[in-house]
Chains A and B, each alone.
Chain A
Amino acid sequence: MRGMTAALLFGVLLGVSASIPASENITRGDLQSIIDAAEPRSVIMLDPGVYVGNVTIDKPLTLSGNEWPVVDGAGTGTVITITAPDVTVEGLIIRSSGISLDREDSGITVRAPRVTLIGNQLEDVLFGIYLLSSEDSVVSDNVIGAKSDVYVASRGDGLRLWESERSLVERNVVRDGRDAVFWFTDDVVIRDNEITGGRYGLHFMYSDRIIVEGNHLVDNSVGAYMMYSVGVEFRNNIFANNSGPSGYGIGFKDMDDYTIEGNRFIANRSGLYLDNSPSSADAYGLVRDNLFAYNQVGALFLPAVTNNLIYGNSFIDNVEQVGVTSTGTFKDNDWSFDGRGNYWSDFAGYDADGDGIGDIVYRVDDLYNTLTDKYPDLQFFQDTPAAKAIALAAEMFPVLRPLPLMEDYFPLIERPELPPVRDLETGSQAPALALVSLLMLVGSAVILQVPIRQNRSRTKKEAMA
């Protein structure tokens, strides 16, 4: 008791003397009893300090943190469980859940509709925020970290929404979790989130009319993977460096009526991956005004994927601009609309009439890439002179030329403008590169000067001899 008073006193002194959060140094009592004592629909302003123990909120109220109070699950179970509707939790640090995947130990588990979770920080939790049948909820501005000492497949999902229709997930930062999962969750809006270092950045199943907008999905194994959903829209997201063995920016399986527009696919294994999408005969797939740059494959389709309309996109310096796995082609997909195709960085054509459309067809019929589609082992020779020689041989001897994978009849001459997006924050590497480059040049120059000095010393040596 005396120790606690001392800690309190110390914390108060610290709180007064400096503006750093005092929470760590104050041990508070039981949060559960505070909640139990509160009237429904009241507002609890939580003072700084560490509140140890798991908590259940079973009546509508607002729990609001002042100067980042910490709710610590002490490494067991779910830290905060919400079982009543209309609860708001904001401004808390929530940490140390248990590690049981079976019990789905989480930072916050919600089992009621209309819950609002704003501006919390979750640390060292197995699952981050888990919404179960929580329609019309809002999850925004939270920062969700993971149990980074647990192997990635044994981690929980940073975010999981299950049957939580019409929810809004906005401006959250999710790091190093397993997936962000949305199942049976229609009409959700996912906007301006940052999801990095996970397995599946976003993972959807049976969730119709979802809008995914302005998110950054970087350094995951897969950016977004969606299955069995209708009417999904992806706009102005950035998918960068998603490079696991699958490594898709976006992967779709059995999806219908989707729009993929204004996204940036950068340096992924494949930017877009389509498997039987659209799956119904009368459904559409619209892929327009996106940027595919520096990916291993810009857009990769499984054979017999049809009915996609792909135009206004820029394909820039992808190792393979577009490809079909094994032996298919892009038959029955359209690469232009209303006389406008796509921009291809490797288009070797011209525009004599100046209408902005290339006067010859852009055609993908690279023999080497056709071979790698068929024999993936041959990707081993990517970018080698031998691979280039094979492609060149097919150019020169039409008898070797494979059937074209696709043809764009209206290739664009200028790279189309894309709608603006929030930029990724990448630190500038230029100064260090400039420095080492200069050093290399100076080194070369010094070498070129060597003989003049050495000749003199040699003469000296000879004279001495």
Chain B
Amino acid sequence: MTAITTRIEPTTERLEPSLVWVIASKEIHDATRSKWFWLWTVAFAGLAAFMASVALPGSQVTGYGSFGRTAASLVALAQIIVPLMGLTLGAYSIAGQRETGALRFLLSHPVSRSEAFCGTYLGLAISLAATVFGGFGIAGIITVAQGGGANAASFVRIAVLSWLLSISMLGFGMLVSTFTRRSSAALGTAVFLWLGFVFIGDLGVMGTSVATQVPTWGLLVSAVLNPVEAFRLASLSAFSGSLDVLGPAGSFAVDTFGDSLGLLLFVNVVVWAIVPALVAWARFAHGGDV
């Protein structure tokens, strides 16, 4: 027991920013040349573009409200693809390097484990930013080209939230990666986690709520505890300014937290973006074979 606690203490290892950046830039270089990265980028950008282009400006009433549905579709899309993206890239990162011996090679240089971890994380996080913002950028351009419009601030907020979701999932993926020796096992676990976050969690809460009449606030708590749900709520509140659309539970949230609701939901996503990566870092920095 003591052994385990000491292993997860905060690192006192060297963390030289320039070295971290060297590793990060190498990671970006690798990522932007990998099949996975382009698969995700093309899939996300393509689907975002599709969503934006099928959203009709809709009526003679100057596109009023049309972005609400586009945004809802974009959020639904991000909710499915972005976690998968982050989880698989993260899961493959350390496990893959371990499998090919690249990690052993890297650590044989005067590079600390923390530097290796942070470099990898930073590089992947930046690569994910390229994917996410590229996808949103294309969707935005298409919306404008179709004569639609959207509140630019909400649009940016949703894009940033999507990126935060992606690095949250990257953290989870890397955490899985530190536990597994083989990259195939890491990927399998990542996909399972994805199913849990995206489908099974919600279905479970839904079923429980119907069967046992969970109080309304119970739904909110369940959402806060699931990073993907946290992202969805924060995005909804970013573009509709409220959670009224979510029925009684949404109205309850609005009544309880009032004007600070949007901020709280955003902070919730930020926390989810940071915590998994910190745990993975602590776990990787303090031992285990390479």
Q: Name A's B-contacting residues (CB within 8 A).
A: 238, 240-241, 243-245, 247, 264, 266-267, 269, 291, 293-294, 296, 316-317, 319, 345, 371-372, 375-390, 418, 420-421, 423-424, 426, 428-430, 432-441, 443-444, 447-448, 450-452, 454-455, 458, 461
Contacts and interface: CB of A to CB of B under 8 A. Distances in A.
B244 to A, nearest CB: 6
A68 B65 CA distance: 37
B130 interface: yes
Contact of A380 (B62, B75, B247): B247
Contact of B209 (A377, A435, A440): A377
Given A380-B249, A458-B22, 12 more contacts: A264-B60, A291-B61, A319-B245, A377-B216, A379-B246, A379-B249, A426-B64, A430-B144, A430-B147, A448-B32, A454-B29, A458-B25
B137 A447 contact: no
A233 to B, nearest CB: 21
B141 A386 contact: no
Contacts of A266: 59, 61, 64-65
Contact of A424 (B61, B72, B143, B199): B61
Contacts of B249: 377, 379-380
Interface string B28-45: 110010000000000000
A423 B2 CA distance: 71
Contacts of A345: 56
Contacts of A381: 202, 205-206
A293 B65 contact: yes
A447 B28 contact: yes
B76 A447 contact: no
A241 B216 CA distance: 25
24 contacts: A238-B61, A264-B59, A264-B60, A266-B59, A267-B65, A291-B59, A293-B66, A294-B69, A375-B210, A377-B219, A382-B247, A384-B202, A385-B80, A424-B62, A428-B149, A429-B152, A430-B149, A433-B143, A443-B130, A447-B127, A448-B130, A450-B29, A452-B29, A461-B18
B202 A451 contact: no
Nearest to B143: A433
B56 to A, nearest CB: 7
B60 A441 contact: no
B21 interface: yes
A372 B21 CA distance: 50
A423 B62 contact: yes
B64 A380 contact: no
A418 to B, nearest CB: 7
Contacts of A436: 140, 152, 155-156
Given A436-B152, A440-B134, A443-B129, A424 B64 contact: yes
A345 B54 CA distance: 11
B166 interface: no
A451 B29 contact: yes
Nearest to B25: A454
B126 interface: yes
B25 A432 contact: no
Given A294-B65, A441-B133, A458-B22, A433 B149 contact: yes
Given A317-B69, A385-B79, A461 B22 contact: yes
A243 B244 contact: yes
A293 B199 CA distance: 28
Nearest to A295: B65
B140 A434 contact: yes
Nearest to A418: B60
B10 interface: no
A436 B247 CA distance: 32
Contacts of A434: 140-141, 144
Interface residues of B, number: 75
Given A441-B137, A451-B29, A376 B159 contact: no
A247 B65 CA distance: 15
B286 interface: no
B219 A380 contact: yes
Of A266, A433, A455, most buried by chain B (CB within 10 Å of CB) is A433
B17 interface: no
Contacts of A389: 199, 203
Interface in B233-282: 242, 244-251
Contacts of B150: 429, 433
Contacts of B250: 379-380
B26 interface: yes
A272 B232 CA distance: 28
Nearest to A374: B210
B191 interface: no
B247 A440 contact: no
Interface in B164-207: 198-199, 201-203, 205-206
B87 to A, nearest CB: 15
A379 B247 contact: yes
Contact of A383 (B64, B76, B156): B76
Given A377-B219, A377-B249, A384-B202, A240 B64 contact: yes
Q: Which 7 A-B pairs have the closest CB atoms?
A: A379-B247, A437-B140, A267-B65, A451-B29, A454-B25, A386-B202, A440-B137
Contact of B144 (A267, A269, A385, A437): A437
Contacts of B25: 450-451, 454-455, 458
B92 interface: no
Contacts of A245: 244, 251
A56 B149 CA distance: 50
Interface in B43-85: 55-56, 58-66, 68-69, 72-73, 75-76, 79-80
A247 B251 CA distance: 12
A240 B61 contact: yes
Of A372, A386, A420, most buried by chain B (CB within 10 Å of CB) is A386
Contacts of A375: 209-210
Given A294-B65, A380-B223, A438 B149 contact: no
Nearest to B197: A385
B58 A372 contact: no
Contacts of B75: 383
B200 to A, nearest CB: 8
Interface in B216-238: 216, 219, 223, 229, 232
B251 A444 contact: no
B138 interface: yes
Contacts of A241: 64-65
